[in-house]
């Protein structure tokens, strides 16, 4: 499931960053006019993309990256969930964030270590 979440990040963020870089109607419709805030958002997306690619590559070569990947996914679940009250359900980015947050939450659930005695 970890691979599913990392590949999902990569599959979503590459076209998103292309759309943002093109700065056309699609970008304006989803993220608003080109502003410094939109540039910061693109930088955060790029950081998540780079982290996802790096974690996936390390995982595929046998490096233990579970805790790192879980940390990335927790941050994503929190920020994607917070877009609902902050932005509202009429925005296409928010609507796409919800199912991605669900996938990442399932990954976190499935990969969580069972709780042992304290």
HEC string of 62-103? CCCCHHHHHHHHHHHHHHHHHHHHHHCCCCHHHHHHHHHHHH
- pLDDT, one tens digit per residue, over 50-67 is 999 999 999 999 999 999
What is d(CA 63, CA 44) in angstroms, rounded to the nearest whole number?
25
What is the per-residue pLDDT for 114? 74
CB 57 within 8 A of CB 28: no
- pLDDT, one tens digit per residue, over 14-46 is 999 999 999 999 999 999 999 999 999 999 999
CA neighbor of 91 nearest in space, from 99, 83, 79? 83
What is the per-residue pLDDT for 118? 60
Structure tokens at 112: 């969580």
Map tokens 């805030």 to a residue. Answer: 37
CB 107 within 8 A of CB 83: no
Map tokens 């042992």 to a residue. Answer: 116
Instruction: Quote the radius of gyration of the chain (alpha carbons, Å).
Output: 15
Percent of the chain at pLDDT exceeding 90 = 95
Please say if the pLDDT value at position 116 is more than 70. Answer: no
**Band of residue 91 on the pLDDT scale cut at 50, 70, 90:** very high
């Amino acid at each position: 499931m970890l691979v599913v979440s990392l590949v999902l990040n990569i599959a979503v963020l590459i076209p998103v960053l292309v759309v943002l870089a093109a700065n056309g109607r699609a970008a304006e419709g989803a993220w608003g006019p080109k502003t410094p805030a939109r540039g910061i958002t693109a930088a955060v997306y790029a950081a998540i993309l780079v982290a996802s690619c790096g974690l996936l590559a390390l995982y595929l070569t046998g490096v233990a990256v579970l805790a790192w990947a879980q940390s990335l996914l927790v941050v994503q679940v929190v920020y994607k969930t917070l877009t609902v009250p902050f932005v509202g359900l009429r925005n296409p980015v928010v609507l796409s964030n919800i199912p991605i947050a669900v996938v990442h939450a399932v990954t976190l659930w499935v990969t969580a270590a069972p709780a042992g005695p304290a």
